[in-house]
Structures are given as C-alpha cells and as structure tokens.
Chains A and B, each alone.
Chain A
Amino acid sequence: MIDFINFYLIPGLTLGSIYALGAVGISMIFGILRFAHFAHGDLMTVGAYAALTAVWVLGIPALAAIPIAIVFTCLVALMADRLFYKPLRDLPTIYTVIASFGVALMLRSLVQTFWGTDSEVYMTGFQKPVVLFDIFRVATRHLQIIIATALLTLALHLFLSRTQMGKSMRAVADDPALASVAGLDTERVIRWTWIIGAGLAAIAGVFVGLDTDVHTNLGWNLLLPMFAAALLGGIGKPLGAIAGGLIIGVAEEICTYPVFGESLISPSYKTAIAFVIMVLILIFRPQGLFKGRLM
C-alpha cells in the first residue's frame, strides 16, 4: 500500500497536475472560441524552452523562471491568435482547427530551429526526496508540482467566480450572441482566454521539464491526454478539466500497478489509457463527466 502511494499515486497526481494545467486552456478555448486547439501542447513546449533559456542565461532555478516562461508563451499565443486564428473567426470553426494544427507544427519547427533537438534538463544532480511520517517518500519536485497545481486551481476558481473577467468568460462560453447583446467586449474576453490558457500551459511545460526533461515533442506528446482530460471534465468547464487531468494521470499510473505480480497493461501503452477514456466519454457522455455547476 505504501509502495502504491509512493510509486504510483504520487507520480500519477504529478502527471495528472500537468495534464490538468494544460487541459484548462484547451477547455476554455473550446468553450469560448469554440475550437479544439491543436497547438496547445506546443505552447507548453514553448514555455518549457523559454524557461530553459532563462535558466541558462540568468542562472536562476526553473521555478523562478516560470514568470518569464508565462510572459513569453502568452505573447506567442496572442500573436498566433492575431495572425492565424482571428482572420478565420467568421468561418466555420473547423478552419481554425486546421490553422491550429499548422501553428502546432510551426511552433515546433521554430523550437527545433532555435533550440535544437537534443533533450535538455533544468538541473543535474540528485534531489533528496521528502520523507513524510517516516513512510512516504515523495520527490521534492512532485510535491512542488502538486501543491502549485492545487494553488492554481484555487486561484482559477476565485477568478472565474469572483472577478468581472471571469464571469464575462463564462458568459461568452454560455452564449456568445447574448454576451455581445449585453455589451461585453468579446475580443477582450478572447485575449484573456489566451493569456490564462497559455500562462497555465507554460507552467505545465516547465513542470514537465522539472519532472523529466525538456525536448521538442514534450507538448505534442501530451496533447492526447489533455484533450481527453478536457472532454472528461466537460468542454468549457475549466475546473472540470482539472479534475479530468488528475483522473487521467492517476489512471495511467495505476494501470501499470502490479496487482497480481504483473501490471495491468504494459507501461509502454500508458498513453492508450487516455485514448480509451476519451473514446468511452465520446460514446457515453460527450457532455463530460460532471453535471451541474462545476465551472
């Protein structure tokens, strides 16, 4: 049981936190701009590399580089929206999906061009795990990632339920036509959607780098579980997406847990769990797992 918590649950929650932060943006963009953003994983990659550069140039730890990563990634996202998504706003949204597919490849090739294709790490050396109650051994970085995600979830909840922009976002997600009749500035709401989505993606990207390493396919490889998390949580419900991300992260780790001496599935098929969950959701509950007022 202790082994289960140390080696499966905690890593699962860590992975889930990363999925969750990425899925929030996907869910919000789907809710407000009404398209599946295929470049979201690559925004994470951009964030991870922006932080890597800050670590190299300024010699600061990766966590301290997060604000730089956020700012850079937000600028990239706002620029992509202005140049490639906004001109297609009046067309059926599937054209924007195609455009975002192109943006995903462009972002990745830019990263590959400027940073190269080698895997990098934020820091070398061994971090001593944190020991809790003498039995739980948790890697420091896992603890940092899980706590940070919990705090960000709380902040997101307060933002969506208490602030004017948060309520405006939910209103636009509910009914864009009525939102403009009520005089809300839709373009401003869209800008903030990008800022929050890209900001959280940047944080998630840095977390991936902290947890494993930084490489150019980092974000793209996570796109499938993040889509699955957003669908699981119910499109347009950012807090649902967080729950969805955690569920998928934990499910992926648990499925490799040796129940009867052998793991349920081969670890190389971990990503398939996300796909299976996605397919089940699409078949049985396309509206997402949660009912009611989860935002």
Chain B
Amino acid sequence: MARMKFLCDADRCIECNACVTACKNEHEVPWGINRRRVVTLNDGKPGERSISMACMHCTDAPCAAVCPVNVFYTTADGVVLHSKDLCIGCGYCFYACPFGAPQYPKTTNFGSRGKMDKCTFCAGGPEADGSKEEYEKYGANRLAEGKLPLCAEFCSTKSLLAGDGDVIAQIYKERVSKRGYGSGAWGWQTAYHETIAS
C-alpha cells in the first residue's frame, strides 16, 4: 500500500488560498475551523515563501501518543484519523502537534472545546466509507472513491502535492534538479523523520 503524504513546494506556492477554500467547501467545515491554512514567511521581504500546511499524517504521530482516550488510528495508507465519538475535547493533541493541525469548534472557556476536527487526507473517519454519518462528522471520503485530496487537486500552481510519498518525492526531486533550487519538503523532517535529498 502507498504511504500517503503531503508535500508543499514553497517555491511554487503563490498564497492564493485555493487549497484552503477547496478544503472548506468539500468538507463543509464550519466557521473558525481551518483544516488547512497558508503561512507566509518573511511576508513582503526578500526570500518570502508561502507554505500550505495541514495535518501531515505523521509517522509515530504525537497527537496519537498524547491522547488521553486513544482516539487516533493510522490507516493502511498511513493516514492519521480519529474518532469524534470518543474525543473528549481536552486539547492535548493541539499542544503536541508540531503543525498546529487539530482544530476545535468552540473556543469557549472551561475547556469545553467540543470534538476535535482536523484534516483527514480526504479519507473520512471510522464510520462506513461514504456514509451520511461519516460525511457529517469528517467530511467527504475521496480516498474511498479512488480520488486524492481536493486541496492538491485545486492547487493553481501544482505546488501542493498529495499522494504516495515516494511518487511525490520523486516529482519534487525532478523539479528541484530542473530549476536548480528548492527550499525543502517543509515539515517532512518533523513529520516523517526524513528529507528529500536535492
């Protein structure tokens, strides 16, 4: 089975936020929740780079390690999913996540943050693939339909790549060798303990 990964080629990203919009629309994500966002480094200065970031579906995921009620699981495709039925909304996964991926529907006090929501790699949740319950809780399950995440599909510059880790790493390597520069596979060291030699 393929090991699914995201890779954002920061030298191509133009901060158009199409990935963010596509994600929000596809999964009908409520206000205030951003499964994906674009962060711009050195905004307006030389060396400016934008990176689209969401859950990286880490190897040995920190969220899964710290969860007090063990709601996370990794699919055969290497996608990190969670059960909203079991989540108690403690917020610990957000503290452990290096990418700020977990989101909470409520920001009210007393820690009543509601069920955690995050990027599913368009792979839904524990419910039956494509079921109404799954869609309401986790959004669309494109992977089950044989499609890749919509954020990457929508990317206007093909900066954001999603799919088999080996394939997208190869694509990125070819790009870097062709154009002669690359700022790295952002987050890969932290998420997968590996880099793409370029």
Real binding pair = no
Residues of A within 8 A of B (CB): none
Residues of B within 8 A of A (CB): none
